[in-house]
Structures are given as structure tokens and as C-alpha cells.
Amino acid sequence: MQLSQKEARRTPGWMGIQRGHKARPLEWLAEKFIFLVSLSTILMVFLIFVFVAREALPVFLGDTDTALVSPVIPPAEMDHHSPAELEKYLELTPAQFKAMDHDTLMSLMDVKVEAANDIPESFRNSRDARINTTEWRYLLLPHQWDDYQKPEYIWQPVGQIKKFNIIPLFVGTLKITLIGLLFAVPLAVGAAIYVSQLARPRTREIAKPAIELLSGIPSVVVGFFALLVLATVLQKIFGYQTRLNAFVAGMALGFAVIPIIFSIAEDALTSVPRAYTQAALALGASRWQTAWQIVLPAALPGVFAATVLGFGRAIGETMIVLMVCSASVMSWSVFDSARSITTTIAAEMAEAVNGGPHYRILFMLGALLFAATFVSNMIGDFVIHRFKTKLEGKR
Amino acid sequence: MKKIIQTLCLFVAAVAVSGSAYAGNITVKGSDTLIILAQKWAEIYMGQHGDVKIQVTGGGSGIGFAALQSQTTDLCDASRKAKPTEIANCIKAFGKRPTEYKVALDGLSVYVNPENSLKELTISQVGDIFTGKIKNWKEVGGPDAPITVYSRENSSGTYEFFKEHVLKGKDFAASAQTMPGTAAIVQAVVKDKNSIGYGGAAYGGGSKLLSIKKDDVSPAIEPTEENVENGSYPIWRYLYVYVNPALDKDAVAAYLNWIRSDDGQKYVKDIGYFPLPKNLRSN
Amino acid sequence: MSEVQSPKSEVPGRHFRAEKFDFWSFFFSGLTGLATLFILGILATILINIIANGWPGFSWHFVSTTPKKDFFDIHTTGVFPMIVGTTFRVLVMTIFVIPVGVITAIYLTEYAPSNSLITRIIRAAVNNLAGVPSIVFGLFGLGFFINFIGKNLDVLLHNANAVWGQPALVWASLTLAVMTVPVVIVATEESLKAIPPGLREASLALGATKLETILKIVLPQALPGIMTGGILAVSRAAGEVAPILFTGVAYYMASLPTHLSDQFMDLGYHVFVLSTQSPNIEQTRPILYATVLVLLLLTFALNIVAIIIRSNIRRKMRSLH
């Protein structure tokens, strides 16, 4: 029953707001506020990309230079050069340049000369000495460095001549991820089929939460287990040379990814309309035949999306691979060590000079990784969306 | 429920408003190689001087220098000398070069399996083995077996040092297996008959430490404590602490002094490094 | 539910064919059952291995001591500061993540027009946040919170030394909040959707405005679901190490973190550092296992609580319909 205006003013409502149109302005504000907060999620995704790419921008623009030997201006000749030239040589912004006094500038010049003198003879005369190793050509294509017999892809950012080829990292990431998926997808999808279609309800009630419990294990713990136990066990079984290799890392990665694929695939399989299953059973098919030939094809888009999301998670997993694998070897062999992009970022950021070319290339790898997972997420989303509308349309 | 939220908010607000700079507070950041030693020093010093608080963080020498330059740390631990870019950045940040203090010695030994008959190698032979030029033990006087090479990951200061000084800057062999720590290398070498590895001289535990010759005509030196301290063992490096000259006074200077005195140096051996020779200590 | 048997027909030829069918069905059913068993076996192996090896070192003393003497002696060391560090960062994260997550979920379920572009973009953004690699969050925390917001905050507050422009508890918590916001959103949405529309309609019919309905009727009903989301977010964040690597974790600190600008120790990071850098692997092995056990107990306890609450809600909701 509506209170009269007078009564409404006398009775304090929630938050002192009276009923009726007096409540509108505050409500409107609150609703706008809610909308803005929701927009913040979009903002976050945007900010992540912007700020990670921002640190990597100089590499994209070709502004970094890691040439070992470059022309050195002797401190005595400092006054012969214009401020603009000195700023470029010393890597200062105009504001910083103005704020410095003569002595400070001299000491910066001295540092440059010392750096040049520190280079060992053998490297000064190497033909790699004048190469800017952060150019795209060296990041992507093989190059025959000094002391190597043929052009190779080398990621070796430590040392006098830093080699930043990112191809071994991509190969390593792909190797480990593919092994992980090869291991996880059949297991997870098989278990999903079993739990959603073939098992008794009581088994289902135990198995489903139990497998989802696997996702509650932090990746540090899975990596720790792989490092200490799994690696030894696998080495005894297979007898290969390198104890910590891509195979072990891939398997551990599979462990971590199984719950995700299982969850989504199981959801997809259970949301196939019961009518399908019941019709097939009525026609004389066994439960397995129903599951394999009727339900799975119907749920295929969902299962596929589960795999895509598992792939995205596998590519982005850091701690497991960090604890298990450590060298970036450019090889397609599964039993060689490998390094994924995420591991490289996590491990090498510590020693990279802040703001230096190595640091920026690591950020660039982060940006590329983000772009890759973004694309794979969009694909997964799109497929799930199509799948949902198809099913809802049929219902 | 509301009460809980209210108290939580108050807690956060109270905590947020306070700053965190109080006197007698020393921040140490930097190398992971030094972190265990730095933590031990901090523990002992704080036990002796109750009014000082020391905070030790790792992250790597690079992070330590970055913190030095952004003035978010008092001391920077480094397992290598400051690179020219980092010195330049410090000058740009606070106008002066950072002061360098040597705080300990680290000797790197070359490990082989205890059953390996070899006793000594020259530095260049070691370098060639690790770059992959020498692939079989018989080329250096051992049995006819392929050499399995163990190394550290390239984010390690030990790796960088070994690469610069023993491999003379060349890259490690592609077939070198990487282990996540010195202890892991030692374990692997003990298990594998034909293996070779490197790491801190004090970790040996179970493997055989080779004596190293500077060149063909020099005597082979064992990696013992005295040989590392008097400099006759050829593979060694300093471990450094860098500090902003403007901050090098009062509590910070006292701590640095203590670290480099006989008092502080006697804990170095427990962590696996070697104390400074007498002439470099602070008293 | 009994298995539907393939018809054993009276016609001889069909009988033979029907039996062959049975075998393959049985075989593949068995195979998938084995897959499930294998997965559960992995879970069991990991858990048993950790519990068996960690139990000897685990004790009240271990959990409550701040290591003051030998860090590497299992008898005198402790993980109390790591537990405190983990708890603090997760608590501060909750303060940020729950409001944002709940408000976004409210928008998506109650207010958003179902097919507008903005709604689809928001949902896509939430899904993307869920899929971003954890190390990219770490880079984001470094590049945005520390280098941008922190540095500018210092400039604004005229701080002589960098107080906010360096790795700190608050930045690590914010990074984790951004990382776990999808978990809270999904859980809240689930619980909001499960409330029968009849309830909302009744409230509106009685004269309440939409906002009042949400705040006084719908949200209290959805509270258990929101709590589940919060707990899941907390359990996920407690176990993550990659995002905090550059944003605030420390290996050793003399005192417990008391200010938002302090750094903190962490269980997962401790495991990581010890297992890859420890000087004596035999000595640290029991400590490692015990620390892992503590971490596992923490995250598992939270997960189990969340699962129990969730199944309770599901049962209650079923009875409501």
C-alpha cells in the first residue's frame, strides 16, 4: 500500500531516502556508478596491454642499440659537441641534461670510455661487434655468430655479445605446451565422458569434486613435485640423459591443466539435452555408443572450447616450467631441455638491467604472450557462444 | 558481517596512512647469490644491535642496481661488478658513482665424478670442454667416454662469471644440461660417471674437485680456502655491495664496516663462500 | 540406474553381432573409467607424497616460529612470517576484489541489456582476464602499479625517498585482485542467477525500487555464493607466486609487514627459492616438504570450505524451486 507523500516524508526509509520520485537521483547515480565499476574490467585488460607494451616500445620501434663497439666521444672533446648530440650519446632527456652540472656530465663521459675499454680484445675485433642485436632480423632469423659453424637460433642474453633470438623460446613453449595437451586432453576428455555419461550418480558425486580439487593445488606445488619425484621416476622409466627436460615439464603441465579441461568438457557434456541420450538408449544403443556417437558430437564445440582454454592456461603457466626446466635449447627433441617464454621472463627479469635492452625484450615477450592468449580466448569464447546459441535454439 | 567489514576498512586505512621510514632501518636488495649470506649477516647483526632493523630482499643483481638507482634501497648486493649502464644510471639518479665494497670471495670449482681418474686441467681445457670443443675424456687424458656437461641457467651470476672468465665469453655448448642450483649440479655429477660441472668451491660434497692450472706450465692449484684467499687459485671472483655515497654514514656505514671486519667475515664460510683476505678487511 | 543391456535377440545371427558390440562398449567405458582413475591417482600420489614427507617436519612450532637462528635447520626454523605474509596480501586483495567483482556481477545480471555490445565486451574482458598468464600480471604490476602509479604517488606526496614507487604489499595485492576478479564475478553471477525471479518481482510489486531490491533482498540471498567466490579467489591467490615475484615478495625480512608499503615473505616463494637455490639439498628437503604441506593445507582448507558452502547452497536452491 502506497504511503501518502506526507507519511512518506515522516517515515525514514532506507538510507533516509523517501519513497517516490525523491529516490530517483541517488538511484540513478548509484546505477551509473555500478556501470562504471563494471567498465573497469575492460579498462584493466586495456591497461595490461598498454603498460606491458609501453616498456617494450623501444624494441618495437627499433630504438634500442646493443652494438658492442660504437663510436666513443673522448671527455676532453665534450664541449665540441652540441647538447642534442650529447643527449643522444649519453641517453639523457633534455630535462635531465639541463639539470646536470659539468662535472656530472664529465663523469658520465668517463663511464662511457671505461665501458669501451673494458671490452676484451677478442671481442672488439669480432665481426659481431658492430651488430645491433635487437634488430628484428636478429630476433627472428638464424645468424651465424662468431665461433659457430653454421647459422643458428640462439637465445643467449648474457655476455659481451647478447643474442636475443626469440625462436628457441617459441619452440620451447610450443613443445612443452603440446606435450602437456597431448597428455591432458585424452585423459581429461575421457574422464569427462566417463563422469558425465557412464558413471553411476554416486561415483559422479565423488569423482567430480575430487578432480576439481586437483585444480586447487598451487602450481608451485605441482612444480615442486615434478622436480623432486616425477623427474627421477621418468628418468628411471625412459632412461634418457637430461633429467630435467621438456617431457617432464610437459607432463607436470598436463597435471595442472587437466582439471580445467575436465570441468568445462564435463559441463558441456552434461548440458546436452537429456532427450538425445534417452532417444539413443531407447533405440538400443549401449551407454558407450550413446556417449561416443551422440553426446560427444553434440557437445563437441564445448569440448573444443575446453581444449582451447586449456591451451591458453598451458601457454601461460610459469611456475611449473620454471622449477623443472631451465635451458633454452633449440631442438625439436622432446627429451631435451626447453625454456618457455613465461619462464624466461620470470627467471631473467631479475638480472636484467632495468630499462636496458634485455629488460625491454622480456616485456616484449610478455606483450606477445598476452596477445596470443587474448586471441586464443576470443576464439574459445566465440566457439562457446555459438555452441550455446545452437543448443538454446534447438531447445 | 557489517562490523567485520568496518573493522577491516579501519585497519586498512590506519595502515595505509602511515609511512614506513624510521631511523635505524637498513634495506638490502639484490643478488640471489648473496641473499643467504646477507640474511645471515642481518640476523647476527640485529641480534647484537637491537635498535637496527635490516631487511633483505633478493631478486637478482639487476634488481638490486635498479633499486639503488631509484633510491629504494640502501645497500645493493651484487655478485658481479656494476655494468657501465648501471653506473651511468646511478650518476643520472643521484649525481655520483655508487661506492663499491668487496665483501666476500667466491671461488668456483670444477666438479667431476669421484671415480674419474683425472686430477687437474688447465683453464683453457676446462673452457673447451664447456664450449663443446672437447667432447671426449680421452682428449684430456681420461678414459674413452663422452663428456656430459652440467651447467647453471643463464639467469645465474655463477653462470655469467664462469662464462666470462673460463669460457672467455664464448657460449656454452648447446648440449650442456642446465641445473637449477649448485647443489643440483653436485648431485648430478655424483650420479653420472662421465660428467663435469662447476659451482661454488665450498659445495663439493661428494664430488671430486679438480685442481686447476692457469696454463700448461703453471702448477695445479687446489680449490682450498687458503688458495682462494691468497689468489693463487685461478677461478675466483669478488662479491660486492654497492651503496649511494650520500647514504654511506651512520647506521649504514657501521653495518658495512661490521660486514667487512673479522667479526662479520667469520660467518662467510658457513654459507659456502670465502672470507676476504686480511688486507681488504675494514679493520 | 542400471545399464541398458544390448538386446540379446532370439535370432542367432544377431546374437553374435550383439556380443561384439558389448565388448567394445565395455572396453571403451573401461578405458574412460581408467582415465578417471588415473587422474585421481595422480592427485592421490601428489598428496600422499607431500603429506608423507612433510608430516615429520610439520609441527605447531614450525607454524608459529619466526626463524631467528639457523634458517636451514628443520628444528629451529619456522614459517610464521611466510604465513603472515601470505595471509596479509590475500586479505588486502579481498578488500579490493570483492566490491569490484560483486558490483560487476550485479551489473551483468541485473542491469545489463542482454544483447548490447557493451555487455558482450564486458563479458569478453572478464573472460580474457581469466586467461591472462600469471607472469604477465607480474609485468603489469611492475609496469603499471609500481612504475606508474607508485612513482607518481611519491611525486604527489613529495616523498624524499621512494615509498610507493617500489615493490610493496599493496601493489602485490592489487595485482592479485586484478587476477582473481573473474573468479568472484563468475561465482557471484552464478548465485545471483540462482535466485528465483519471483523474489525480485515480489519486492518490486511491494514498492521497492530496483536498487533497494538488489541491496536488501537479492544480495543477502546471494551472500553465500559471494563468499564462495571470495574463498575461491583467496585460495587461488594464496598459491600464486608469479604475479608477486616482481611486485613485492621478499626472501627474508626482519619483521612482519605492518604497512601497506612494506614487502612481505610468502610460502610459495619460499618453496621456489629453496628448491632452486638452496646450498644443501639434503638439509633443506624436509623444510621444503613441510612448507609445501602448510601451503597445501591452507589452499585445500579454503577450497573444501568453498565446496561445502557451494553444495549447501545448491541443495537449498533446489528446495526453493
Specify if A155 maps to a domain. no
Same-domain check for residues A353 and A259: yes
Helix orientation angle between C281-320 and B182-191, rounded to the nearest 10 degrees: 110
pLDDT value at position B17? Answer: 44
Determine the straight-line distance between the first and last CA of chain C, rounded to whole angstroms: 25
What cell numbers appear for B159 in the block?
Answer: 653462470
Answer positive or negative: Cα dihedral of C313, C315, C320, C321: positive
* Cα–Cα distance for residue pair A319/A221, rounded to 1 Å: 9
What are A350's three cell numbers? 631479475
Residue B158 vs residues A41, B78, B175, B232, B240: alpha-carbon distances, Å? 43, 12, 19, 20, 14
Q: Is the pTM of this model over 0.90?
A: no
Over range A6-26, report the average pLDDT. 53
Residues A386, A304, single domain; the answer is yes
Lowest mean pLDDT among B3-7, C153-157, C195-199: B3-7
A246 plus A361 within the same structural domain: yes
Q: Are A40 and A80 contained in the same domain?
A: no
Alpha-carbon gap, residue A234 to A239, rounded angstroms = 8
Are A53 and A98 in the same domain?
no
The answer to whether A284 and C6 have CB atoms below 8 angstroms apart is yes
Flag whether A128 is in a domain: no
Q: Does some domain include residue A341?
A: yes
Instruction: Of A310-319, C99-108, C142-151, C244-253, give the lowest mean pLDDT range.
Output: C244-253
**CATH code assigned at A323:** 1.10.3720.10
Q: Is the confidence at residue C219, as pLDDT, over 50?
A: yes
Cβ neighbours of residue C167 closer than 8 Å, sequence gap 6 or more = B57, C146, C246, C247, C248, C249, C263
Does pLDDT of A242 surpass 70? no
C-alpha cell at B194: 662421465
Pick from C223, C260, C279: CB nearest B183: C279
pLDDT at C71: 62
> How do B211-213 and B120-122 pair as beta strands?
parallel
HEC profile of B137-176: HHHHCCCCCECEEEEECCCCHHHHHHHHHCCCCCCCCCCC
> Would residue A140 count as lying in a domain?
no
pLDDT of amino acid C177: 93
Hey, is the C-beta of A326 within 8 angstroms of any chain B C-beta? yes
Q: Are residues A377 and A234 in the same domain?
A: yes
Same domain for A54 and A199? no
Say whether both A17 and A98 belong to one domain.
no
Residues A101 and A185 placed together within one structural domain of the fold: no
Average pLDDT, rounded, for chain A: 79
Most confident of A204-208, A352-356, B44-48, C36-40: C36-40
pLDDT of residue B160: 80
Tens-digit pLDDT profile for residues A365-388:
888 888 888 888 888 777 777 777
Rounded CA Rg of chain C: 26
Whether pLDDT at A1 is above 50:
no
- C-alpha distance from B193 to closest chain A C-alpha (Å): 12
Average pLDDT (B149-169) is: 81
For residue range A123-162, what is the model confidence (pLDDT) as tens digits?
777 777 777 777 777 778 777 777 777 777 778 787 777 7
pLDDT confidence of residue B242: 92
* B62/A114 touch (CB, cutoff 8 Å), yes or no: no
**Contacting residues of B for A96, CB less than 8 Å apart:** 92
What is the band of B8 on the pLDDT scale with cuts at 50, 70, 90? low
Structural domain span for residue A80: 70-118
Distance from CA of A282 to the nearest CA of C (A): 9
Chain A nearest CA to B283, separation (Å): 31
Handedness of CA C27, C32, C33, C35 (dihedral sign): positive
Q: What confidence score (pLDDT) does residue A377 get?
A: 80
At residue A350 the predicted structure's pLDDT band, cuts being 50, 70 and 90, is confident
Chain A positions touching C131 (Cβ under 8 A) are: 309, 312-313, 316, 373-374, 376-377, 380
Say whether pLDDT at C174 is over 90: yes
pLDDT higher than threshold 90 for residue A239? no
Contact C240, C134 (CB under 8 A): yes
Q: Are residues A79 and A41 in the same domain?
A: no
In a domain, A114, yes or no: yes
For residue B95, list chain A residues with Cβ-Cβ distance below 8 A.
Answer: 100, 104
Same domain, A187 and A88: no
- Side chain identity at residue A59, one-letter code: V
Q: What is the least distance, in Å, from the CA of C141 to any CA of chain A?
A: 9
Torsion of CA B59, A157, A60, A114, to 10 degrees: 90
User: Under an 8 A CB cutoff, do A354 and B63 touch?
Assistant: yes
Q: How far apart (Å, rounded) are the C-alpha atoms in residues A106 and B62? A: 25
Which of the four pLDDT bands, split at 50, 70 and 90, describes residue A22? very low
- C288-308 pLDDT, tens per residue? 888 889 888 888 888 888 878
Chain A residues within 8 A of C25 when measuring between CB atoms:
286-289
B254-258 long-range Cβ contacts below 8 angstroms, 24+ apart: B255/B26, B255/B45, B255/B52, B255/B54, B255/B75, B256/B75, B256/B101, B256/B282, B257/B282, B257/B283, B258/B45
pLDDT tens per residue across span A215-226: 888 888 888 888
Among C163, C170, C252, beta carbon nearest to B19 = C163
Calculate the average pLDDT of chain C: 81
Domain membership of residue A307 (yes or no) is yes
What is the least distance, in Å, from the CA of A301 to any CA of chain C?
A: 17
Q: Which DSSP string corresponds to A219-266?
A: HHHHHHHIIIIIHHHHHHHH--S-SS-HHHHHHHHHHHHHHHHHHHHH
Grid coordinates of C141 = 604490476
The β-bridge relationship of strands B53-57 and B75-78 is unpaired
Position of cell 670471495? B105
In a domain, A146, yes or no: no
Which of B4, B55, B63 best probes binding to C when mutated, by most C CB atoms within 10 angstroms? B55
Per-residue pLDDT averaged across C305-314, rounded? Answer: 79
- Say what the pLDDT of residue A247 is: 84
Q: C-alpha distances in angstroms, C163 versus C138, C154, C260?
A: 19, 7, 10
pLDDT over 70 (residue C21): no
Residue A292 falls inside a structural domain: yes
Contact A335, A246 (CB under 8 A): yes
Residue A389 has pLDDT above 70, yes or no: yes
pLDDT in the model for residue A21? 45
* Top mean-pLDDT range of B39-43, B189-193, C94-98: C94-98
Question: Residue C10 above 60 pLDDT?
Answer: no
Give the model's pLDDT for residue C17: 45
Report pLDDT digits (tens) over C77-127. Answer: 778 888 888 888 888 999 999 999 999 999 988 888 877 888 888 888 888
CB-CB under 8 Å, B20 with C261: yes
DSSP A15: G
- Identify the DSSP state of A336: S
What's the number of domains chain A is made of?
3
* Of residues A112, A242, A356, nearest to B177 (C-beta): A242
pLDDT at B241: 92
- % of chain B with per-residue pLDDT over 90: 1
The predicted-structure confidence for C50-81, as pLDDT tens digits, reads as follows 888 888 878 888 888 777 655 666 667 778 88
Report the distance separating Cα C41 and Cα C45, nearest Å: 6
Q: Which three cell numbers stand for residue A186?
A: 585424452
Whether residue A51 is found in the same domain as residue A100? no
Chain B interface includes C36 (CB < 8 A): no
CA B166/CA B127 separation, integer angstroms = 5
Decide if B48 touches C, using CB distance below 8 A.
no
Among C71, C166, C258, select the one facing B15 at the smallest CB separation. Answer: C258
